[in-house]
Chains A and B, each alone.
Chain A
Amino acid sequence: AQSVAQPEDQVNVAEGNPLTVKCTYSVSGNPYLFWYVQYPNRGLQFLLKYITGDNLVKGSYGFEAEFNKSQTSFHLKKPSALVSDSALYFCAGRMNYGGATNKLIFGTGTLLAVQP
């Protein structure tokens, strides 16, 4: 079965420090992987995605993620955290076979708390 896992319910980091939010996947074939951010009472906002090509993907607001096929991981990173980055982060994936279903499978979310 396809699945996406976020092993940490919460990540705490001080402002200005680098942050990492972890994600691992179990998706058939070569997956498409996404990161979304959700602020309180808001919708899911797209940050970045991996389809193919360079393993390091750059996205919005200074975020980047590294696709590691051997470790089946797609960790989200940012060199210097901001208090405004505090939010709920979801990793999502889907299969890459061009079929009728492109539904996203979400991880359980990681709450990022950046302390000033």
Chain B
Amino acid sequence: AAGVIQSPRHLIKEKRETATLKCYPIPRHDTVYWYQQGPGQDPQFLISFYEKMQSDKGSIPDRFSAQQFSDYHSELNMSSLELGDSALYFCASSYRLAGSGETQYFGPGTRLLVL
């Protein structure tokens, strides 16, 4: 079965640079979530989109922005990168219309290292 695809899988950037993370949800899924997992920490919710509209916002820095496109893929744009942004970034997708008990399926993550 098709899974959530994230690219790139690994990314190395320097401070103050920008990065773009991409997420391709499972086909027919209409909702995308972004989470950040710091070293040894639990995933923290950043932002979500439902039918291409932002549906919720968590602890996402103002330096970050995201959007969901017409083909439902999503991109997380990160600017003015800081050392503390080094983390594993997960994208998850779900099919909200399936009911309120939707399951979020996670991608493999993008490991970002800021030097």
Contacts and interface: CB of A to CB of B under 8 A. Distances in A.
Interface of A: 32, 34, 36, 41-46, 49, 51-52, 90, 96, 98, 100-109
Nearest to A9: B40
B58 interface: yes
A98 B102 CA distance: 10
Nearest to A32: B101
B33 A44 contact: no
A103 B43 contact: no
Interface of B: 4, 31, 33, 35, 41-45, 48, 50, 55-56, 58, 90, 92, 94, 96, 100-109, 111
Nearest to A97: B100
B102 A102 contact: yes
Main secondary structure of the interface of A (DSSP, over half): loop
Contact of B108 (A32, A36, A43, A98): A43
A104 B104 contact: yes
A90 B100 contact: no
A103 B101 contact: no
A44 B43 contact: yes
A35 B74 CA distance: 25
A43 B109 contact: yes
Given A32-B101, A49-B103, A102 B94 contact: yes
Query: Which 8 pairs, one residue from A and one from B, show the smallest C-beta to C-beta distance?
Result: A51-B101, A101-B56, A106-B42, A44-B106, A103-B45, A43-B108, A43-B106, A100-B55
A102 B73 CA distance: 18
A87 to B, nearest CB: 14
A4 to B, nearest CB: 9
A98 B100 contact: yes
A29 to B, nearest CB: 12
Given A100-B55, A106-B42, 5 more contacts: A42-B108, A49-B103, A96-B100, A103-B45, A108-B42
